[in-house]
Structure 1
């Protein structure tokens, strides 16, 4: 590019030198005799030559300007090409880096493949040995499979027996509760049947008993709860306040009618608050439930009461039975009581 720029400059210098040299030659060639003649028109020729030289210079300058413009365009074009080549060069360098990385990966994979081939060759002998022992292994596997199936059957049988035992356990609990209820009923019937001959004879001697009354509280002393129990349980009121006629037994909690007549009974139940356990009891005549007192509150203290008038025959038994899964509170203030008295005989 520098050579291209220098060429117009050299051309301009050469043109100027040639014009000067030609002027000097023309002056030397003209004879002395004609100098006087030529002096008359000398200024005109010099002026013509100068004008011609100036025109040449302008032509050369125009040509140089055109060449310079072309060189600028070419320089911009070459600059863009250089930038494009530099970008391609950077891309090629990145590709070269990637190729080197892939080459390293291929080398590592080749090394790994060699290792795998080595291990494969080593295991071929083991495979052959396993093939030779294959029949024995198959037999062993079949035997183990048969044992596994047998164990699965045994497991299923154990689960079935476990379920059956759970059902039997549930049934046993139910039967146990029924037995407890029957035992309570049996106690009641036994109490009725245990009316001694002495009592009967005493009643027969006395003829007609006209004064019968009792009142008792649940706990003999102290403070606390009775229950809860899984099943209904007879209550024994041990703190006896009044027992006219001795018809109430503080050891069993039973009132046995000494004479046929109308009797009035009252029951009061103390209820200590509890989220899971209420307080309740039935008034029972000869095993059959009549009226009930029931109270349930999650906290604090409450109470419930009820009463009934019953027609009793001689030997009929009346008592209170605590409801299942309940508890009853009593203390020295005697919140839980059982009372009764003869209204009139019949």
Structure 2
């Protein structure tokens, strides 16, 4: 019995083309006269003889399409709400900066006291938290911040003393440092990356320690950068 129904469906599909929805009277009469059970519960003859490849599952397919459409609309609405919440939380607090030391063939230092390093070449300063005149970053809001420090020095030839110590300072206190003291390398570099929980107005900067020096940076390889990971105030 099911085989007969399937044969009718296949015949309908074969005879209906993209250009016309006509079908032979014999096939339509056979479908209308069918008295047996159908595999999907019912036959929509109006649909079957007016649309290409339409069958008795048309109603179920319409319901499925509507269900999927409603689900997609719900997901889209949820994404819009999430985007709105993110913008309300982080809007106006996009904070990031990157700065390098000016090119130098000589050395910065040594000095008789600790000296903030002037990273004067600013390539990024979203939120204007970094002051290139002072070399100091001031947190515009409370949050978790990531800071990265790269120190490079080149004495030009082996046998000369590489002698640098640079510290990342938060509110006057050294929190991380990198140093070098040897006569084996003509040049060397090191990088530190740290996370700080800062209150609004707290300051972070880099300083060269007393008696040390940074030399021969011709390509801006001494870098100070940072960004707001996420705000912590309500």
Task: Identify the TM-score tier after normalising by the shorter chain.
Answer: 0.5 to 0.7
Q: Is the 8 A contact 1:281 1:294 kept in 2?
A: yes
Q: Aligned match of 2:114 in 223, 232, 241?
A: 232
Residue 242 of structure 1 pairs with residue 124 of structure 2 = yes
Residue 257 of structure 1 pairs with residue 131 of structure 2 = no
Bigger relative contact order, structure 1 or 2 (CA pairs below 8 A, ≥6 apart): 2
| d(CA) in 2 for partners of 1:245, 1:223 | 32
Cα separation, partners in 2 of 1:214 and 1:267, compared to 1, 3 Å: same
Residue 280 of structure 1 pairs with residue 165 of structure 2 = yes
Residue 211 of structure 1 pairs with residue 94 of structure 2 = yes
| d(CA) in 2 for partners of 1:330, 1:257 | 31
Q: Is the 8 A contact 2:160 2:186 kept in 1?
A: no
| d(CA) in 2 for partners of 1:324, 1:275 | 19
Q: Which deviations, in whole Å up to 9, do the C-alpha atoms of 1:174-206 show, x marking residues without a partner?
A: xxxxxxxxxxxxxxxxxxxxxxxxxxxxxxxxx
Q: Aligned match of 1:304 in 155, 175, 190?
A: 190
Q: Is the 8 A contact 2:104 2:218 kept in 1?
A: yes
Q: Which deviations, in whole Å up to 9, do the C-alpha atoms of 1:100-153 show, x marking residues without a partner?
A: xxxxxxxxxxxxxxxxxxxxxxxxxxxxxxxxxxxxxxxxxxxxxxxxxxxxxx
Q: Aligned match of 2:208 in 309, 313, 322?
A: 322
SS of residue in 2 equivalent to 1:243: strand
CA drift at 1:341? 0.5
Q: Is the 8 A contact 1:329 1:336 kept in 2?
A: no
SS of residue in 2 equivalent to 1:296: strand
CA drift at 1:288? 0.8
| d(CA) in 2 for partners of 1:311, 1:297 | 35
Cα separation, partners in 2 of 1:259 and 1:235, compared to 1, 3 Å: same
Q: Which consecutive unaligned segments of at least 5 residues does structure 2 have? A: 1-89
Structure-to-structure mapping, 1:56-205, within 5 angstroms: none
**Bigger Rg, which one:** 1
Q: Could you say which residue in structure 2 is the equivalent of 1:22?
A: none
SS of residue in 2 equivalent to 1:263: strand
Q: Could you say which residue in structure 2 is the equivalent of 1:270?
A: 152
Higher helix share: 1
Q: Which deviations, in whole Å up to 9, do the C-alpha atoms of 1:76-123 show, x marking residues without a partner?
A: xxxxxxxxxxxxxxxxxxxxxxxxxxxxxxxxxxxxxxxxxxxxxxxx
Aligned length: 140
Q: TM-score, normalised by structure 2?
A: 0.55
Q: Could you say which residue in structure 2 is the equivalent of 1:15?
A: none
Q: Which deviations, in whole Å up to 9, do the C-alpha atoms of 1:6-34 show, x marking residues without a partner?
A: xxxxxxxxxxxxxxxxxxxxxxxxxxxxx
CA drift at 1:208? 6.0
Q: Could you say which residue in structure 1 is the equivalent of 2:223?
A: 337
| d(CA) in 1 for partners of 2:229, 2:105 | 33
Q: Which deviations, in whole Å up to 9, do the C-alpha atoms of 1:191-226 show, x marking residues without a partner?
A: xxxxxxxxxxxxxxxx9632101111111x443320
SS of residue in 1 equivalent to 2:182: coil
Cα separation, partners in 2 of 1:277 and 1:319, compared to 1, 3 Å: same
Q: TM-score, normalised by structure 1?
A: 0.38
Q: Is the 8 A contact 1:263 1:343 kept in 2?
A: yes
| d(CA) in 2 for partners of 1:322, 1:238 | 15
